[in-house]
Amino acid sequence: MPDSSDLRALLGGPVLEVAPRLLGATLSHAGVAVRLTEVEAYAGADDPGSHAYRGRTERTAVMFGPPGHLYVYFTYGMHHCANVVCGPEGIASAVLLRAGEVVEGLDVARVRRGSSRDRDLARGPARLAQALGIDLELRGSDLVDGEVCLALADAPHPEKILTGPRVGLRGAPDRPWRFWLAGEPTVSAYRPAKWISDR
């Protein structure tokens, strides 16, 4: 398993390299830990699907770095979604945490998620954030030294990583920037865009 001292340097790399490297990593907060099985890359000014496509705002400032912090946004008036900020400081990019498996704190996650089956506790970005107790108050949290903790696992074998279009986007919908672990039941179902995304 990689040393945590190398984590911030790794997260400072290009988003398309960081995103698949996060597969198998564990995100922990408030009594629950989730092993990541699905992520999506967003490349800021070069990506019409990104919140930061049109530049820095108060909402997106954390996406501009430094890397290794948590970008949280609230969507559709009801859901929080969690992203890992990556890339060089000053250039906005982030990895949306789309899905994972609850590996610690199952009872706590069940309470937060209500009647979900265990497979579905963190299956989808809003469910993942809810299971972990992540909301807007945690935006900007340091994932290396803060209360929300990201721990890398050994890199998945390349043959285990699949890629395809991101979910629910109209901006750059065909880019194969969604990455997931093959054979994982917690990976969310693909849905093409039916609305204008607020990313």
Predicted pLDDT of residue 25: 97
Task: Express as a percent the part of the chain with pLDDT over 90.
Answer: 71
Residue 29 has pLDDT above 80, yes or no: yes
Distance between CA atoms of 164 and 118, rounded to whole angstroms? 25
Predicted pLDDT of residue 188: 87
Distance between CA atoms of 165 and 177, rounded to whole angstroms? 6
Q: Domains plus CATH for the chain?
A: 4-181 (3.10.300.10)
